[in-house]
Structure 1
Amino acid sequence: GVYVTDLEDRMLIVNEAFERQSRYSAADIVNRNHLQLLEGYNDPILIHQMQSTLAGGEIWSGELVHQRKGGDPYDIQLTIAPVRDLSAQVVGYVGSQRDITHQKELDHLKDMFVSDVSHELRTPTTNIRLYLELLEDAPSEKTPKYLSVIKEQSQLLTKLVEDILDLSRLAMAKARKIEFEKMDLNLLAEQVVTAHLPIADATGLDLIFEPYPDLPTILGDQIQMSRVITNLVSNAVRYTQKGNVSVRTYKS
């Protein structure tokens, strides 16, 4: 969207793109002070820097939050340049803005995704490291058990990486197909609990698994279910300072 203001920041002209972005008609916005659209949403220091730059006859560019008609905020990339007359005197300003609200939302989702991935990758990598350390001094009879846990955690790590790649392919309409299959919830929970035992032992916690006897198999995505249980157990162990953590399965 493009607009023109005078030296007092009063809006003189706006184009149709500006009207669509701001939802103000030209009749609504002309003669209003442009700074009113910025009030309450932007750092006053940033606004002062913008005004100082323009007062010096220079071009200013940056990201701001504008206010639509009705009060809703939206993010913009804005460039403002002085308008000069034939004698090179500044007589007003022309602004060109681009709505970047959707881009900002995507950036926020990306940050959340990176945070979630970091959390989910931390558990298997920590468990693999701990079990490798245990293997160094482990008696021979425990070696197969430790190797089994390392294998399970490395497989989980591999699937997490594959799912990350699937999410990147989602943008290209090539998302991973969720695979529903019969799974033993007791076995799945036991594997997760076993993988977290070294962490619990290291912090003095008793990690207890109480399976429901003869629990029937359920239909679902085993990878996603394992991820849910892992997050629950991981958080319980991490944020329990003393005592015990009990993991139970039951049939409702």
Structure 2
Amino acid sequence: MTTITTRPVEYPADGLTMVGHLALPAGTGRRPAVLLGPEGTGLGDVERRRADALAELGYVALAFDLHGGRYLSNPEEMLARCLPLLDDPDRMRGIGHAALDVLRAEPRTDPDRIAGIGYGTGGAIVLELGRAGVDLRAIGTVNATTTGRPGEAARIRCPVWAGVGSEDPIMPPAQREAFTAEMQGAGVDWRLVVYGGALHAFHHPTVDHPVVPGVGYHPRHAQRAWHDVLGLLAECLPVTE
């Protein structure tokens, strides 16, 4: 098995000391990199394992933090922090830029070859980086068909892939339609995959989620969404020696 190295990284953002998870592939040369954003609950073992899996494929991967090293398993606490954040594109961009700076500063990172992948709130943050004009090779989101401020999607400079559950009450059909209209109107190279029967956060094992209406794990679609994310990276950010 390919040997990877991992370590926590601390950095300031949103008035907090964030604690991200950096995963480095084997070798010493520069590699393409992936910024990985977590669900609204925050950075947990699920996202750390995904970053590790990306490193095993040859990517430098940084799973970034949302809550200053905390994992908000209490739904009320999570919503109290995330809802104001999701209503403030500048705050989201601040969190994303801070993590992106850490990733770019890593010597193993090829700073010209970075993609952003995110889930839920983390996906909304990655999309805001695109709307801010950040030079990313690809943007992939799961259950984050969020829209931005009028006209700013035209700054997105890379393909956008989005996945969402058909039964997701947080990202319902009207929200998905608004998102696709925004992408299409801005001339973005976009794709949307709707996973039949899946709820919100269908990609996230229930062991880390309290029982919340409209939220549920769908193992088959979780695997499919991960394969779709890897396909996006293989197309737009291939690992080459």
TM normalised by structure 2 equals 0.22
Higher share in helix: 1
Q: Relative contact order, CA 8 A, sep 6+: which one is greater?
A: 2
* Rg larger in structure: 1
**TM-score (norm: length of structure 1):** 0.21
